[in-house]
Amino acid sequence: MSSKVRVRFAPSPTGPLHIGGVRTALYNYLFAKKHNGDFILRIEDTDQNRYVEGAEQYIIDSLNWCNIPYDEGPGKEKDCGPYRQSERKNLYKEYADQLIESGNAYYAFDTAESLDAHRKEHEAEGKTFIYNWHNREKLKNSLALSSEEVAKRIEKGEHYVIRFKAPKDEILHTVDEIRGEMEIDTSILDDKVLYKSDGMPTYHLANIVDDHLMKITHVIRGEEWLPSLALHVLLYRSLGWESPKFAHLPLILKPKGKGKLSKRDGDKLGFPVFPLEWKDPNSGEIASGYREDGYFPEAVTNMLAFLGWNPGTEQEFFTIEELTEVFDLKRVHKAGAKFDPEKTKWFQQHYLQESDNSYIASEFLKILKTKNIDATLEYTKHVVDLVKERAIFIEDIWEQGFYFFVNPTSYDPKNTKKAWKETTNELMKELISVLKNIEDFKADKVSEEVKNWIKSKEIGFGKVMQPLRISLVGSLQGVDIFQIAEAIGKDKTIYRIENAIQIIKK
């Protein structure tokens, strides 16, 4: 086996990539980069019935968006291609044959109906039908039939499958990098189908052959594949190949209670379970995605990194580069990891605060455009400087700072009722005169002048400040009122106060 670390992410293009799949890809990527190895994308599309249009591109787009690009794979062909199993179809038969020759596999001709009948018969007796050493000698296969009969059936074009002959009574010892030593009693295994006469291998055979031919050194995948581990180890042994190392990542559980986080949970529970939005090509149904919901990829990958792993230190924020340095399979947990959508928001808030305000402003300008609002980058950046700390997503800048871009058209009735008294109209008119006299309309200056005037009138600050805020914002929300006044400028400030007097009129 080559000493260079080579890992693969091997999704089946059966729909959008679940966030759990993204975590598998991330851990593979981190492991590869930590060891200066290669990260390979292999599309496992042997099951044509489950193939979904657009799913492969979705997988590629998701990895790119998360900044975990693959080194080899579709579109990045290197020596071990092609990287789609459907394009490798002709490769697998030889290995199925090899397994038959060595006595590790056999032809089976049982029809779906006959297997169903066996299943029902067993059920009626309270038993479970397993196709393995229990009964394989009694079924329609090359272990029970004469070699002439087998040859005749194949020649006639009868449908067959090739099944692995799982050993009886063996305690298989193997190691999982996360779970440690494992012992599996092979008597409980069923004789899995490896190959079908339609020329297609099943997942198990294709997966093993490809991992071998692609020189994969470590198989890092979800816990749901743990039940296949024994078969895979046995297949390597039967083919005379050295097995890669295996690591099965813990399940991702629903935020509350037990059970696996499923593809359907997301929109039902109010958070995305997909990296990107996905439109089902058949139903047209849309499932939400982290990207479209405004999350930064850094927040998503940071959250995913902690979903089943921890660095063993107090540090919580990690860029991908930092993760590649500290990531270690030894620190991946065995127990299921609870998905925590609030934690993702918390990471998002951090990365928004960390990111460059010019970038946020340029992205926010796109949102303003959709509202038909024109603003300069400089002005928008100034607004971002003022309101960013209150935002989690770029989109929140609107909710937190819309009043920098539009005049209020309505006034919060509850606030207005409380703050706009009989005398307020007069006070506001006087305030306008004070403002008119301020030459240098800077926040500090405006604040000083207005406050001095209030003091000179010997009235409470709230009597002016609250109506002023209502005039400029439409409610009592918002950042420092004098910063707002400075940003929108003297004319607009006065205009908004005049408007409020007109509309609110007592």
225 lies in the site for ligand GLU, by CB under 6 A: yes
217 lies in the site for ligand GLU, by CB under 6 A: no
Segment 126-145, which members bind ligand GLU (CB under 6 A)?
Answer: none
Name the one range near ligand GLU by CB under 6 A: 10-18, 116-124, 385-393, 416-424: 10-18
Among residues 208, 214, 106, 125, the alpha carbon closest in space to that of 165 is found at 106
CB of 272 to ligand GLU, least distance (A): 20
CB of 32 to ligand GLU, least distance (A): 14
CB of 8 to ligand GLU, least distance (A): 7
Residue with tokens 């990527």: 29
- Output 56 or 486, the one with its CB closest to ligand GLU: 56
Among 196, 254, 263, 338, which one carries the catalytic annotation? Answer: 263
- Output 11 or 297, the one with its CB closest to ligand GLU: 11
CA distances from 238 to 65, 99, 164, 187, 216 (A): 40, 7, 10, 17, 18
- Output 44 or 56, the one with its CB closest to ligand GLU: 44
Helix H or strand E encompassing 311: none
- Output 225 or 379, the one with its CB closest to ligand GLU: 225
- Output 207 or 217, the one with its CB closest to ligand GLU: 207
Question: Distance between CA atoms of 160 and 139, rounded to whole angstroms?
Answer: 13
210 lies in the site for ligand GLU, by CB under 6 A: no
Question: Taking a C-beta distance cutoff of 8 angstroms, is the pair 227, 210 a contact?
Answer: no
SS3 (DSSP) at 153: helix
Phi, psi of 2 (to 5 degrees): -65, 150
Residue 231 sits at the vertex; the CA angle it makes with 201 and 152, to the nearest 5 degrees, is 45
Question: Taking a C-beta distance cutoff of 8 angstroms, is the pair 63, 304 a contact?
Answer: no
Which of 17, 39, 44, 309 contacts ligand GLU by CB under 6 A?
44
207 lies in the site for ligand GLU, by CB under 6 A: yes
Name the one range near ligand GLU by CB under 6 A: 7-15, 67-75, 251-259, 471-479: 7-15
Residue 171 sits at the vertex; the CA angle it makes with 239 and 116, to the nearest 5 degrees, is 75
11 lies in the site for ligand GLU, by CB under 6 A: yes
Which residues make beta-bridge pairs with 230?
none
Helix H or strand E encompassing 179: none
12 lies in the site for ligand GLU, by CB under 6 A: yes
- Output 7 or 162, the one with its CB closest to ligand GLU: 7
Question: Distance between CA atoms of 375 and 361, rounded to whole angstroms?
Answer: 10
**Intra-chain end-to-end CA distance of the chain, in Å:** 86
- Residue 163 is classified by DSSP as E
251 lies in the site for ligand GLU, by CB under 6 A: no
Which of 23, 221, 291, 382 contacts ligand GLU by CB under 6 A?
221
Q: Active site includes 263?
A: yes
Sign of CA dihedral 34, 40, 41, 45: negative
- Count of chain residues binding ligand GLU (CB under 6 A): 7
Question: Distance between CA atoms of 450 and 465, rounded to whole angstroms?
Answer: 9
Name the one range near ligand GLU by CB under 6 A: 8-16, 149-157, 292-300, 491-499: 8-16
- Give the footprint of ligand GLU on this chain (CB under 6 A): 10-12, 44, 207, 221, 225
What amino acid positions are annotated as catalytic residues? Answer: 263
